[in-house]
Amino acid sequence: MDLASHRFMSYFEPLQAAHLCQIAVLESFAEETLVFEEGDPADFLYLVLAGEVEFSKRIENNKYQAIAVAGPDDFFGELGVLDGEPRSARAVAFAGSTLAKICREELIATLELAKGRSVLQMFNFIIKNLRDTTDQYVSQFVHKQKMVLVGEMVSTIIHDFKSPFTGIKLSSEMLKEMHPDQETQEWCELIQLQVQRMLGMAEEVLEFSRGNSVLNKKPVNLIQTLQQFEKLNKVYFYVAKVDLMMEVTEVIVEADENKILRVLQNLVGNAVEAFGGRGGRVEIIVTQSEEWAEISIYDNGPGIPQAIKEKLFEPFVTYGKRTGTGLGTAIAKSIIDAHKGEITYDSEKNKGTTFYIRLPKNLAVG
């Protein structure tokens, strides 16, 4: 946009606006560039003509937390210019941005002569910005607090579950020794696997709440992963009247197998929960292209509720479940992201839902 049609100019009388246009200095950014740092003196007001500017605040360990973004027709930096205080956030312009800057003294001089209406309009904009930024900050803060709470809860759960888990494990080992027949051996192994799995799941929620997903990658044959998945869930599917159909080509990916199992578990678990005890059909199909392994997971359930479609993968988004925490799909996405893969879905009311996962095979790159 051109400077004369920027909203900031509309606040002023034509002569004053023309003067501001004349003294404004245009600056274009070919790459991501720091406009000002938190704590810098506030010497200019900036009008965004093209591109985007991101604002962030320094948090612990010299990391930055994004708090807002300004686009064309927005202006920023007015608070410091008006009250003379240093910048309260850092501003970074993305490549392709154009800003017009007006120096503090000129702006103050113009404002002193401006009509009350101009000042009022400017304040409306400033107040709206402050409200938006505060809302965003509060929701980020609440989100963080929830994560901390989840982390603390899971730590306690893991701690308290360790001794009963050890008890179950030891008992099943004893049963195995007492009954050497094939069937008992298999059931006992299943018990041990499931106990191990419960611990693994709790550890994963803990990792997620701390915001780190450490991958233990090795070449994984997805056929075996899916066979393992089927074995672990045989009883679960039987009880829930779920027909599982799998069509798997042999694909080797560089991945963390336990985490991929977790993704399958969370997505298929959701499908089973959506069947609501009536049973249903789940199809898992694995194919591959040159670079990707592709997994699709279909269910013929009721579909993802419209109300949460837009933000399904966000943490704590849950719908229609008494005990849902809303972490299942968020964890699945964080695991796929950590593998540099992609996860999307398609869903239609009363027809069903399909999740599509792509994982880079990565074998040549290592």
Does 353 help bind ligand ATP (rule: CB under 6 A)?
yes
Q: Which residues bind Mg ion (CB under 5 A)?
A: 270, 328
Strands (E), the chain: 25-29, 33-36, 44-50, 53-58, 64-70, 75-76, 90-93, 97-103, 218-221, 242-248, 252-255, 280-288, 292-299, 342-348, 352-360
Looking at beta carbons only, is 131 or 309 nearer to ligand ATP?
A: 309
Does 68 help bind ligand ATP (rule: CB under 6 A)?
no
Q: Which does residue 97 bind out of Mg ion, ligand ATP, none, counting CB within 5 to 8 angstroms by kind?
A: none
Does 317 help bind ligand ATP (rule: CB under 6 A)?
yes
Does 240 help bind ligand ATP (rule: CB under 6 A)?
no
Q: Which of 137, 157, 318, 346 binds ligand ATP (CB under 6 A)?
A: 318
Looking at beta carbons only, is 51 or 303 nearer to ligand ATP?
A: 303
Looking at beta carbons only, is 270 or 288 nearer to ligand ATP?
A: 270
- Rounded Cα–Cα distance for residues 331 and 282 (Å): 21
Residue (of 293, 284, 274) closest to 336 by Cα position:
293
Considering the complex, what minimum distance in angstroms separates the CB of residue 36 from ligand ATP?
A: 39
Sign of dihedral through CA atoms 180, 186, 187, 193? positive
Burial class (CB in 10 A: 0-12, 13-18, 19+), 278: exposed
9: three-class secondary structure by DSSP: helix
Q: Which does residue 268 bind out of ligand ATP, Mg ion, none, counting CB within 5 to 8 angstroms by kind?
A: none
Phi, psi for 40 (deg, rounded to 5): -65, 155
Beta bridge partners of 298: 283, 354
In the bound complex, which residue of the shown chain has the CB atom lying closest to Mg ion?
A: 328
- Choices 37-45, 157-165, 212-220, 295-303; region in contact with ligand ATP by CB under 6 A: 295-303
Considering the complex, what minimum distance in angstroms separates the CB of residue 269 from Mg ion?
A: 6
Quick one: tokens of 138? 């509060």
Does 270 help bind ligand ATP (rule: CB under 6 A)?
yes
Q: Which of 260, 261, 263, 304 binds ligand ATP (CB under 6 A)?
A: 304
Phi, psi for 10 (deg, rounded to 5): -70, -15
Q: Which does residue 353 bind out of ligand ATP, Mg ion, none, counting CB within 5 to 8 angstroms by kind?
A: ligand ATP
Distances in Å between the alpha carbon of 342 and those of 71, 153, 332? 28, 30, 10
Considering the complex, what minimum distance in angstroms separates the CB of residue 362 from ligand ATP?
A: 27
Does 280 help bind ligand ATP (rule: CB under 6 A)?
no
Considering the complex, what minimum distance in angstroms separates the CB of residue 327 from Mg ion?
A: 7
Beta bridge partners of 45: 102
- Rounded Cα–Cα distance for residues 188 and 193 (Å): 9
Let me know: does 102 contact 23? Beta carbons within 8 Å: yes
- Choices 40-48, 102-110, 241-249, 265-273; region in contact with ligand ATP by CB under 6 A: 265-273
Does 279 help bind ligand ATP (rule: CB under 6 A)?
no
- Choices 102-110, 168-176, 180-188, 303-311; region in contact with ligand ATP by CB under 6 A: 303-311
Residue (of 99, 100, 4) closest to 52 by Cα position:
99
Considering the complex, what minimum distance in angstroms separates the CB of residue 75 from Mg ion?
A: 43
Task: State the pairing for strand pair 292-299/352-360.
Answer: antiparallel
Does 334 help bind ligand ATP (rule: CB under 6 A)?
no
- Rounded Cα–Cα distance for residues 315 and 146 (Å): 10
Binding residues (CB under 6 A) for ligand ATP: these are 266, 270-271, 274, 299, 301-305, 308, 312, 317-321, 324-330, 353
